[in-house]
Structure 1
Amino acid sequence: MDKVITEPNKHNHLSASPGDKISLASNMDAEAGRSCYRILLVEDDQLNQVPTILLLERRGHTVVLAEDGRQALEMLRREHFDCILMDVQLPEMSGIEATRAIRESLDLGEKRTIPIIALTAYAMSGDREKFLQAGMDDYLAKPVMIADLEQVLARTCQLK
């Protein structure tokens, strides 16, 4: 069942559950000419989930939420996505472990090559290289700016 998210109220009560297909109840449409993607957002922190979902949905993307690497793997087995936005620090299975599991999985077939973009607070020298070496296709440091996110999505998803 789709979960409709409205603008947060003054108390910022807004939440999503893993596996929810989320659509933003808003009159803002995606800008003309921009590709819209079906995105698996792998993020365990609700304070990061909500603004990321809102940013993406306002631009016409469809977002499905997973809260850890294991959930992401299961959802990827069942559903089609154009890309994955993967937090690095996750419970159960980290973003790096989940990325390696996706890339090495024999049962995912073509889905093993899905674009995976790291979303992380890690912004130290060498972090980008570490994530790329783990099999991720690109990297964005939090807090994510929408212009940067759109650039990375366009660049990464079009290589697919």
Structure 2
Amino acid sequence: MNPTPGTTPPPAGSHAHLRVLLVDDVAMNRRVAELFLKHLGCTVVSTGDVASAVVRIRAQEFDLVFTDVEMPEVNGIDGIELFREADAAAHPGRRCRLKIMAVSAGQLGMTHQDYLAAGFDEHLAKPIELEQLRAVLLKWQSELPAPAV
């Protein structure tokens, strides 16, 4: 099931309150993941590198970060600490820890457990699929606070 441009957005569903930051240096990867996440009802902000992601985290609170692992300058693994520090400094009253998801094509030879040991909350293999994203959102939404009414 691929969302197509010009289709009616889905009604507000179980993922409608999720605020997602998407970080990937490849514009096409960002666009596909953004379309999928929006189709699932998420509010999505995307950026092409860790430095601009940190700026976004300081300016806005997110529930989940999906970050490419293999990026130039600062990679997603090194970004984990930067993301968490920025979130803690900018949002000290946060009710739960920012969830960070690794997105990788597997070129580093790391296993799912390696990504978790590195500090990620979850690992998704590229190419990302709609049902894969849906499963991750379902898994983690229960650990996130309900949206303010």
TM norm. shorter chain > 0.5: yes
Task: Give unpaired runs (5+ residues) of structure 2.
Answer: 145-149
1:34 aligned onto 2:14:
yes
Q: Once the two structures are superposed, what CA deviation does each residue of 1:31-69 show, in whole Å capped at 9, x if it has no partner? A: x64222111000110121111111111222111011111
Alignment match, 1:130? 114
Write the letter of the residue equivalent to 2:112: R
Could you say which structure has the greater relative contact order, defined with CA pairs below 8 angstroms and 6 or more residues apart?
A: 2
Change (3 A) 1:66 1:99: same
Cα pair 1:119 1:141 within 8 Å, conserved? yes
1:139 aligned onto 2:119:
no
Query: What pairs with 1:49-64 in structure 2 (closer than 5 Å)?
Result: 49-64=30-45
Alignment match, 2:136? 152
Give the ranges of 4+ consecutive aligned residues of structure 1 lying more than 3 Å apart after TM superposition.
103-106, 108-112, 123-126
Cα pair 1:121 1:143 within 8 Å, conserved? yes
Q: Deviation of residue 125 (structure 1)?
A: 6.7
Q: Which residue of the other structure, out of 85, 95, 118, is the alignment partner of 2:102?
A: 118
For the residue of structure 2 that corresponds to 1:107, the secondary structure is helix
For the residue of structure 1 that corresponds to 2:120, the secondary structure is coil
Aligned partners of 1:125 and 1:26: how far apart in 2?
Answer: 38
Could you say what the CA RMSD is over the residues aligned between the two structures, in angstroms? 2.5
TM-score under structure 1 normalisation?
0.74
Aligned partners of 1:26 and 1:111: how far apart in 2?
Answer: 35
Write the letter of the residue equivalent to 1:47: M
Change (3 A) 1:39 1:104: closer
Number of matched pairs: 137
For the residue of structure 1 that corresponds to 2:22, the secondary structure is strand
Task: Give unpaired runs (5+ residues) of structure 1.
Answer: 1-5, 8-24
Q: Once the two structures are superposed, what CA deviation does each residue of 1:102-156 show, in whole Å capped at 9, x if it has no partner? A: 3355624348820111111017874222221221100110111211111111212
1:68 aligned onto 2:52:
no
